[in-house]
Amino acid sequence: MLDQTRLRADIPAYDDAARPSPVFLDSAGSSLPPRIVVDTVVDHLRREAEIGGYRAAAERLDDLHAVKSAIGSLVNADPSGIALSDSATRSWADFFYSIPLSAGDRILVSGADYASNAIAALQRARATGAVVEAIPSDGTGQIDLDALAGLVDERVKLVSLLHAPTNGGLVNPVAEATRIAHRVGAMVLLDACQSVGQIPIDVAALDVDALSATGRKWLRGPRGTGFLYVRPELAATMEPARLDLHSAQWTGPQEYRLTPDATRFEFWEHDVAARLGLGAAVRYLLELGPANVYAGVAANAGHLRKTLPQVPGVTVRDIGTLHSGIVSFTVDDVPPTEVRDRLRDQDITVTVSHRGSTLLDMTSRGLDAVVRASPHCFVTTDELDRFVDAVAALSPGHRS
């Protein structure tokens, strides 16, 4: 059970008791960090200013190594399979561009796949002669497992799975899809950008070959952080598309040796303060109890899915049978960007997901954009109701 008073006290955004609390519903974008994350980052930046970046980093080597251990505890992975990066996109691309491809190879992408992933797949297909194909969605909107089983063959080199899309509450059946892909020897790369930190992730149970995630969303870490998980035995066989003196060692005039674990997907230069902040965010989540946090997110999203449809003119646009903490909706005759901006005037933060971010899914559903509300566990029911009332005031029925 979460202590809501403690949660709120830990967030600097709620320090000003003289004004109404902001209603923050954008943890799917960049969440509000707990104080320990802010203090960790700022304290290290101050230390760098005192003694220089190299000495400051040397003082925190054990803490930097512990970041991977904390992430491993969260997702049930050996730390040797974790590589730290500056974003989920970087992590996804670092793995994807390391997969050998040639003419005739097939890349399968989810129907709700993210634009960055699809663009990278199309670029490599253009360069190598590989082919990109979309996995159909079933009647609920999630991956059609029967269709996937009919698509896979020995030419499929990679199946790109999106765990929870950016534009709505869908959660895809990853473990089931992975089993189908592995039957033909295809690798599975899971985009967990919107799932790590808000729903349970167990890489061993999911059996994915690689997973990419960010720090700034549901983990509530700093921007400019992310991580890549690679099955350790697979990581030892792959050569990343880019290397430096951290991911490999220069052993002779014409020779180099790759780092034996997932560290080969890292570069030497990085934001030390941000990575320490990521570690603080993951440890804070582990201290709260991930199951407690996941339940809090689910309860808040469920409250919105129950109350928003009661507002005349509002349509919840979520699909699938399992739902994440992202609630997408539209308001009749009010563009999503206008909904976002008018709510912002009342210190209510939501965002808009546009068609270009998830082109296949949004096009198939005839949507150009949706409003996205993503309440973390620290948001109160009173704040959720304040948000719903504000949306109701924008609806055509209220205006008439």
3-state SS, 111-154, equals CCCCHHHHHHHHHHHHHHCCEEEECCECCCCCECHHHHHHHCCC
Q: What is the mean pLDDT of residues 148-170?
A: 97
16-40 confidence digits (pLDDT tens): 877 888 999 999 999 999 999 999 9
Q: What is the mean pLDDT of residues 43-54?
A: 98
Spatial separation of the C-alpha atoms in residues 351 and 317, rounded to whole Å: 14
pTM over 0.85: yes
pLDDT at 397 over 80: no
Phi, psi of 22 (to 5 degrees): -65, 150
- Cα dist from 145 to 13, 140, 162, 174, whole Å: 43, 12, 14, 10
Query: In which band, very low, low, confident or very high, does the pLDDT at 399 lie, cut at 50, 70 and 90?
Result: low
Cα atoms in the 13 Å half-sphere on the side-chain side of 91:
28
Spatial separation of the C-alpha atoms in residues 156 and 309, rounded to whole Å: 41
pLDDT at 210 over 80: yes
165-192 confidence digits (pLDDT tens): 999 999 999 999 999 999 999 999 999 9
| Predicted local distance difference test score (pLDDT) of residue 119 | 98
75-85 confidence digits (pLDDT tens): 999 999 999 99
Task: Return mean pLDDT, the chain.
Answer: 96
pLDDT at 225 over 90: yes
pLDDT at 400 over 70: no
Q: What is the mean pLDDT of residues 190-204?
A: 98
| Predicted local distance difference test score (pLDDT) of residue 398 | 64
| Predicted local distance difference test score (pLDDT) of residue 51 | 98
All domains in the chain, ordered by first residue: 4-31+290-394 (3.90.1150.10), 38-287 (3.40.640.10)
Spatial separation of the C-alpha atoms in residues 31 and 47, rounded to whole Å: 26
Spatial separation of the C-alpha atoms in residues 316 and 174, rounded to whole Å: 24
> 160 with 177: CB under 8 angstroms?
no
| Predicted local distance difference test score (pLDDT) of residue 17 | 76
> 80 with 231: CB under 8 angstroms?
no
311-351 confidence digits (pLDDT tens): 999 999 999 999 999 999 999 999 999 999 999 999 999 99
Tokens 């991956």 correspond to what residue? 143
Q: Report the 10 Å Cβ neighbour count for 347.
A: 14
pLDDT at 382 over 60: yes
| Predicted local distance difference test score (pLDDT) of residue 395 | 80
Spatial separation of the C-alpha atoms in residues 253 and 41, rounded to whole Å: 40
